[in-house]
């Protein structure tokens, strides 16, 4: 990643801080520190503002900081002091009267300690200051997401080629994670959901001991993390035997809902309206009460980011956003269908980044 892109991100953040009437922000969310600096370590904070830029870290990361972000000043603490004590000692030199803090990241305990020890600095809670910037992916981020998708799809193909009827969900999840790593992924984006038969009616099921020969269909929800930390997220359902007509019916409904929603994606479209397109298809088919979650979410340095595609989201899609589109129907005691793809919002529409076939094929399709 070029230093110019990182500098552009920081410049945009400083501009937003000015609009909020603040001269500096203390960044405590490690993903936000990475986004603004390129530093991939943990346990480090960043102060950024009109006239200030500094990373606070410890001796474990001194060499890494010099390598990953050599142009950003760093203050290194030793094991003889805590991070809070370190901040209390260092902050007065910046001459700040107000300091923004990340309300969704900083704990109450840390806030209260800083407020007590830095009584001359007013701490101002802010929400989404960096996360809003992260919603729009630049060219480097989009390429990294493409890589995460490719690694997930390659691992998935390898896993399916290894399946045998006696294999359990948990064994398949292990093969899937191992496969993604073999193709260069840092790790799985989350614990893979591999759900045989009626277990597929549980949207966040944990792979267990069900065997593939216990049911004629299986749901798999998985993703990869690229080397630079970007996440992909996909879901497919495949046949392991003769699929019941009921599954065929709900599969067709979900697929139609997903395709209609994807076709509606474009800059300026409200997220709740995209959700509504898919929900209408499912409602008209008589399955409205079996689709309880939102249609999708942004992906990036986190597996769940903004924007959210849901009935209550008033966000508008913008070029450069990457979202999942994942409608589902879940019938307790029978099974469920979810089909999920990663979609880039382009200047004049959309691009589907994922390429795994959506048809309800067999184990080797």
Q: What is the pTM of this model?
A: 0.94
Domain that holds residue 148: 139-352
Domain boundary among 72, 107, 134: 134
Domain boundary among 118, 134, 150: 134
Residues 6+ apart with CB under 8 A from 360: 217, 237, 238, 239, 243, 247, 248, 251
Is 359 inside any structural domain?
Answer: no
Classify strands 341-345 and 322-325 as parallel, antiparallel or unpaired: antiparallel
Same-domain check for residues 316 and 187: yes
pLDDT confidence of 65, banded at 50, 70, 90? very high
Question: For the chain, how many structural domains are there in total?
Answer: 2
Span 55-61, average pLDDT:
95
pLDDT, tens digit, for every residue of 328-363? 999 999 999 999 999 999 999 999 999 999 988 655
pLDDT value at position 360?
A: 86
pLDDT value at position 177?
A: 98
Is 361 inside any structural domain?
Answer: no
pLDDT, tens digit, for every residue of 227-252? 999 999 999 999 999 999 999 999 99
pLDDT, tens digit, for every residue of 266-319? 999 999 999 999 999 999 999 999 999 999 999 999 999 999 999 999 999 999
Is 357 inside any structural domain?
Answer: no
Same-domain check for residues 71 and 162: no
pLDDT, tens digit, for every residue of 106-158? 999 999 999 999 999 999 999 999 999 999 999 999 999 999 999 999 999 99
Domain boundary among 72, 101, 134: 134
Same-domain check for residues 123 and 157: no
Residues 6+ apart with CB under 8 A from 7: none
Average pLDDT along the chain: 95
Q: How many helices (H) and strands (E) does the chain have?
A: 10, 18
Same-domain check for residues 160 and 110: no
């Amino acid at each position: 990643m070029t230093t110019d892109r990182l500098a552009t991100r920081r410049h945009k953040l400083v501009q937003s801080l000015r609009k909020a009437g603040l001269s500096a922000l203390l960044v405590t969310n490690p993903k936000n520190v990475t986004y603004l600096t390129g530093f991939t370590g943990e346990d480090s904070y960043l102060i950024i503002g009109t006239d200030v830029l500094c990373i606070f870290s410890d001796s474990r990361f001194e060499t890494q900081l010099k390598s990953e972000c050599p142009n950003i000043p760093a203050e290194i603490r030793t094991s003889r002091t805590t991070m809070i004590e370190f901040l209390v000692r260092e902050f007065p030199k910046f001459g700040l009267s107000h300091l923004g803090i990340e309300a969704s990241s900083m704990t109450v305990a840390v806030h209260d300690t800083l407020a007590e020890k830095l009584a001359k600095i007013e701490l101002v809670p802010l929400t989404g200051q960096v996360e809003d910037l992260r919603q729009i992916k630049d060219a480097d981020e989009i390429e990294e997401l493409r890589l995460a998708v490719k690694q997930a799809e390659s691992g998935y193909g390898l896993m399916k080629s290894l399946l045998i009827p006696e294999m359990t969900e948990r064994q398949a999840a292990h093969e899937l994670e191992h496969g993604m790593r073999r193709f260069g992924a840092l790790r799985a984006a989350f614990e893979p959901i591999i759900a045989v038969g009626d277990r597929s009616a549980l949207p966040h099921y944990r792979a267990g001991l069900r065997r593939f020969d216990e049911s004629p269909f299986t749901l798999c929800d998985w993703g990869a993390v690229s080397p630079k930390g970007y996440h992909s997220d996909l879901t497919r359902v495949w046949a392991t035997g003769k699929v019941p007509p009921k599954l065929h019916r709900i599969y067709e409904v979900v697929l139609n809902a997903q395709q209609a929603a994807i076709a509606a994606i474009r800059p300026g479209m409200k997220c709740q309206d995209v959700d509504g397109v898919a929900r209408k298809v499912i409602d008209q088919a008589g399955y409205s009460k079996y689709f309880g979650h939102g249609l999708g979410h942004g992906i990036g340095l986190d597996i769940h980011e903004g924007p959210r595609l849901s009935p209550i989201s008033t966000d508008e899609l913008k070029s450069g956003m990457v979202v999942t589109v994942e409608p589902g129907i879940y019938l307790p005691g029978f099974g469920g269908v979810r089909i999920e793809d990663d979609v880039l919002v382009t200047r004049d529409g959309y691009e589907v980044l994922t390429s795994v076939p959506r048809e309800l094929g067999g184990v080797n399709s």
